[in-house]
Every structure is written in C-alpha cells, then in structure tokens.
Structure 1
C-alpha cells in the first residue's frame, strides 16, 4: 500500500502568525482545497469537552476550520453525538448548554453547533460497514450522515481504554448515536436501576421487541431478557438515567468496532482530518476534570487518511520526554515500574491502541505507512 502523506506543523509562532492562521495554512498545504465544498453542508466533528474539563481544544481552532470551509463556499457546522453515560452531554439540550459554556457558540466559532443524533440520541441512520467483521450496519447520527463533506478535528490525548483518543476514536465512537456507542462498548443487555426508574413507560414505547415489561405492583420497568436484543434504544428514551449497559467488551474488540464505525462515517464522501497534540491529558475529555498533561505540546497534523494521522501522532508522542508532574511521570518513578516503551501504555497499563490501527488498515480505512511532511 502506498504511503499516505501526513502534514505537520509545530506550535512555534513566527512573524506574528497566530496559531489559528498557522492551522489554516497547514490544512491548505495538506490539500483541503481539493475538496469541492461550494454550496455543500460540511460536518466538523469535534469534542466540546465535559463540563469541568478544560483540556479540550479551544474554540479558536474550530473557528479556523469553519472559516476555511466558508472561504471555499461550504456551509459548516460543528457536531458531536450524545454520550452513552450520564453527564452534561447525554441529550441535545444539555449538550448544547455544555458546548456554549465551554465557548462553542456561533459568535465564537462562526457557525452553528448541531448535535448529530438528535434530542435524545436516538436520531440515527443505519450505515453499511464495507468489510466489517463485528458490525454490518453502524448506527450513526443522522445530521452527520446528511452532510456532504466530513471533517474531523481531534484533540489527541490519552484514553483509559483505547490507549489514546485520536481521529479514529473521534470519528467512530464520537459519531455513533447512543445506541451506536452501546454497540461498540457492549454486546450485553441493559440493567434497570429501580431506585431511579419512575415507571413512566417512555422506554417501553421505543422497544420493538417486547424486551421491557411494566411491573404494575412495583410501578417499575424490568427487562425481559428472553426478548431483549440489546439494541440500546431504551437507553436514549430514559430521561432519568435508570437504564445502563455494562462496558463489557474487551479493549481489542472495542478498538476494532470503533474502526468499523469510523469507516462507515467516511466511506463514499469527501473527508479530511486534523489532530492537535496539545494539552495531552492522560484521560478522555469526557471526564468532568482533567489531570496534568503527560507529554509536552507537540504540534498540529492534517491528512486525508485517519489511520496514518493517528499513527503519525502516536509516533511523535513516542519521541517526547514524559512530563514529571503527571500520572505518567509518577508511574515511571515507581520502584515496580515495568516500561512498555509507550507513553500511553505506561499511563494506563491495560489500555491498547495498536489493534485499532491494524484493523482499520485491514478493512481499508487507511494505511499505517505514511510520509511526514513538515510545514515551517
């Protein structure tokens, strides 16, 4: 397979060039201008950060991408899908408030924010996964699939399960509806917390398989495990966080499913990907807090190939010295420390990312072989 080109620029600001302008220059050098955006809807997929977390990408970077799209005649919108877990982004209203509070408004980024899978995370489209091993049809947020062009803007950082949160995770897990996220995390069936259940029967209206039964005496819902297919639609219907799924898939299968979901999102339409290795927190931006960065700021990268982009980011991170005032630095100072020669595995021993990149390459999502082109 031919090497993919990945373009790189550091965070040095020269001749008064502001960092968002440097990002725009990088994207142009990487060839984003070859995409016909004139009059096209352009989805810019990013993470708005959980409330309490301040390591997510600054809105200034999102504005740079949106401005570049508008200069090409495109109609951009920032987007993300609702979360599987309870938090400040589990439905579109809370998600929008979270985005606004974290600085992502039409005034600051120059385009609207649209939550991709609708009010309750149930507005999705079944998208075929060509070459999928685990997933034949991915459940992707409808607004994301309605876009003519897809761009990912990723904060590259650590992750407690997937090793790191890069472009593939931003696309695959991030574009899945609540049911899609459930499918990637779990093949099991839900549990109902009776203390939280209000007996409103809203979940029952969304179940197509008679997998839910209303207990008249207790005035609570319960799962009929014989009928339940584990589709996750009930989770999106519950406003009280009474329904939950266990994250029971092994990391390697989770990674493979994530790659398959990412392929469903990008197949068949123009797509382009940007990652910033900055504020490299040890854990996902989904946390309501962020620990000190484990690595120094490295730079900005852009490519048409999300697998090559993630591989290049990982390789650049390998070359960095761990920051001492971090969980990674603390781990490496322990007497019983076992060096995995990888900053992400040294941060979270059970985390693993190589399976994701290998599987993504196998199914045609991209190539791990790349040529790094440096922009000064």
Structure 2
C-alpha cells in the first residue's frame, strides 16, 4: 500500500476566509465531495461533549459538513453511542439533552441527532470481524450500521487509556454499543458495586440469562451465565453495575482498531480531525484541563490511520504549554526527550492502535501531507 494523502490547513483566518470556510475548502480539496451522497443515509460520527467540558468541537464545524452533504442530496444525521460509565450520556434521552445543552440541535447543525445504540445502549448489530485477533463479532450501534456512508468528525486530544483520541478512537470506541464498549474495556462481564446496590431487583428481572440474583439485598452476577450484553448497566438506577475495566491498554487499543474495521468495512467513509483545545483527557470528562499544546489545524483524509498518524506527528512537534498537565508530568519525570502523549499518560502506548489498524487493512501509517 502506498502513502495516503492527508490534507491540512492551519488556523489562520482573514476577513475573506474564516475557519468554517477553510474547513469546507479543506474537505473539498481532500475529495469528500466525490462521494455519491445523493439519497444515501449518511452518519456523521461526533462526540457531543460531556456537559461541563468546553473542549469538545463546536456545532458550527458539524454544520459545515452537514450542509455540504445536504447540498449533494445526502440524508445526513449526527450520531454517537451511549457511554459505559455514569454520566449525562448514559441513555439516549439524557444523551440528547446533553447534546442540546452543548449546542447540538437541528437548528444549529441543520440535521437531526440519532443516538446510535438506542434508548439504553442495547440496540446493536453484531458485525463479524474477519481475521480479528481479539474481536470475532463487534457490537456496533444499529443506526451507525444502517447508514450507507460514514463520516467521522474528530476532536484530537489526549486520552488516559489510549494516549490520544483521534479518528480511530471516535470510530471504534465511539460506535460500540454498551456491550461493545464493555468488550473493549474488559473481558465483557460487568461487576456489581455492592456499596451502591440497593437490592431493587430490576437487574435480575431484565437479565435474559438468569445470571443475576439478589442475595442479602445485594445483586450478584454469575459470570458463567452472563452473556456480557450490558443491559443491567443501563437498567440500574443506582449506578451500581459497571464494566470491570480490567483490560490492558495495548489490548484495548487493538480491540478499538478491530471495532473500527467493523464500522468502516464495505462502505464509503471519510475522516476529519481538528487539532484544537488538545486537553490531556477525553471529552467524556465533565471538565477540561488546560490544553497541553497549542492549537495546530484541521486535517482530512479517506484514510483514518494516516490521518491519526499525521495528527500525532504534528502534535509531537508542537511545544508544551507551560503550566499544563503535560508540563507537570515532564517535571516529575525529569526527561527532555519525550513523546507528548506517553509522557502525559505513561501507561499508554498509542502506536499500538495504529500498528494494528494497519495490520488488519484499515489504512496505512505512511502519508503525504498536503497543505491547502
């Protein structure tokens, strides 16, 4: 496989060309308008941001992409899947409330929001992963898989488990249903936080495999019977059931790549990343810390692996912002030569995801950077 083309534009603006106009020019130069959108359902995968976090992408960027797709006759919608952890995006109703609160609605973006895995994170499609090393069937939100065309609009930032979050993180982890996210983060079996459990029995009633029993007013899960569907997590009003979070970060990265393969395989796809507000932690946090590096620019490509590699290379060349979490980590570690993301989160190794994605045929780490 030869080098993939990754298109880049900086964040300088003039009275004749603002950032939104530059984004439209970028994706057109990168060839997005060559996709046959007419009468095709098109999913634009985005992270709506956890309320309280201000680093997520503004809805203005999404509107540029939505308007372009609509101008070519596409039937476009914005989407994300429900979260695995406790927060404001655990079910579709709260998720949409959070999206609206953060400015995402049909009036600001020009299209509807559909939560990909339904009300409780259980509306999923089992997608075979041909040659998967860790995943045989990926559990992907149904609305994501129902789309004819897939577009990812990514906020490039740090991440405490994967080093950074870019295109592959937004696609693989972001499109997994609750059970899918649990499979990536753990061996796929939930656990009970006994202190939080009130013994209401809702989880016992909803379990289709009779894996949950209430003993001494506390829920217990028999992992020999548990199918790992995650329905009990969504049903628990006390937030007493959670994923085990016991998977190594390297395996998590590989699973994420295999989930990305499941989402992208067999249909047109295109990817856009913005290296802005590069916070050290995920947008799933209800807060955002000072960026670890300055804003850099916007990038687009048909190849998400090359796109992530290009974003990482640009970020690694950027100076560290004084007083940031990364600056503090470097002071503690006492080193001058470093990888920004591995220094921010020393237990992570982000290249594992890109290496595995390249190995299974999603794309290539080799790229030609074209400035527009």
What band does the TM-score fall into relative to the shorter chain? over 0.9
Asked if structure 2 preserves the Cα contact closer than 8 Å seen for 1:339 and 1:346, the reply is: no
For 1:257 and 1:290, the matched residues in 2 are separated by 26
Stretch deviating more after TM superposition (362-371 or 232-241): 232-241
Q: Which residue of 1 aligns with 2:66?
A: 66
For 1:128 and 1:205, the matched residues in 2 are separated by 30
For 1:283 and 1:180, the matched residues in 2 are separated by 21
Asked if structure 2 preserves the Cα contact closer than 8 Å seen for 1:188 and 1:248, the reply is: no
- Residue correspondences, number: 372
Stretch deviating more after TM superposition (219-228 or 111-120): 219-228
For 1:340 and 1:257, the matched residues in 2 are separated by 30
Q: Deviations over 1:64-109 (max 9, x none)?
A: 1111111111011111000000001000011011000000011111
3-state secondary structure, aligned to 1:293: coil
Q: Deviations over 1:85-134 (max 9, x none)?
A: 00010000110110000000111111111110000001000011122110
For 1:339 and 1:143, the matched residues in 2 are separated by 46
Pairs within 5 Å for 1:5-20: 5-20=5-20
Asked if structure 2 preserves the Cα contact closer than 8 Å seen for 1:183 and 1:231, the reply is: no
Q: Which residue of 2 aligns with 1:286?
A: 284
For 1:189 and 1:339, the matched residues in 2 are separated by 41
Listed as ranges, the gaps of 5+ residues in structure 2 are none
Stretch deviating more after TM superposition (166-175 or 192-201): 192-201
Shift, 1:31, TM fit: 0.4
3-state secondary structure, aligned to 1:282: coil
Q: Which residue of 2 aligns with 1:371?
A: 368
Asked if structure 2 preserves the Cα contact closer than 8 Å seen for 1:187 and 1:248, the reply is: yes
Assess, with a 3 A threshold, how the Cα gap between structure 1 residues 10 and 239 changes in structure 2: closer, same or farther: same
For 2:318 and 2:8, the matched residues in 1 are separated by 16
Q: Which residue of 2 aligns with 1:263?
A: 261
For 2:151 and 2:312, the matched residues in 1 are separated by 20
3-state secondary structure, aligned to 1:214: strand
For 1:199 and 1:35, the matched residues in 2 are separated by 53
3-state secondary structure, aligned to 1:358: helix
Asked if structure 2 preserves the Cα contact closer than 8 Å seen for 1:141 and 1:175, the reply is: yes
1:358 equivalenced with 2:355 (yes/no): yes
For 2:159 and 2:104, the matched residues in 1 are separated by 23
Pairs within 5 Å for 1:101-112: 101-112=101-112
For 1:38 and 1:80, the matched residues in 2 are separated by 23
For 1:300 and 1:41, the matched residues in 2 are separated by 25
Aligned CA-pair RMSD: 1.5
For 1:230 and 1:133, the matched residues in 2 are separated by 19
Asked if structure 2 preserves the Cα contact closer than 8 Å seen for 1:303 and 1:309, the reply is: yes
Q: Deviations over 1:234-275 (max 9, x none)?
A: 223323312112211111000000000001001111100000
Q: Which residue of 2 aligns with 1:33?
A: 33
Asked if structure 2 preserves the Cα contact closer than 8 Å seen for 1:213 and 1:222, the reply is: yes
1:223 equivalenced with 2:225 (yes/no): no
For 1:252 and 1:194, the matched residues in 2 are separated by 29
Q: Which residue of 2 aligns with 1:241?
A: 239
For 2:188 and 2:42, the matched residues in 1 are separated by 35
For 1:265 and 1:221, the matched residues in 2 are separated by 35
Q: Which residue of 2 aligns with 1:86?
A: 86
1:129 equivalenced with 2:126 (yes/no): no
Shift, 1:199, TM fit: 4.0
Shift, 1:325, TM fit: 2.4
For 1:256 and 1:296, the matched residues in 2 are separated by 29
For 1:55 and 1:126, the matched residues in 2 are separated by 32
1:166 equivalenced with 2:163 (yes/no): no
For 1:339 and 1:352, the matched residues in 2 are separated by 18
Asked if structure 2 preserves the Cα contact closer than 8 Å seen for 1:81 and 1:141, the reply is: yes
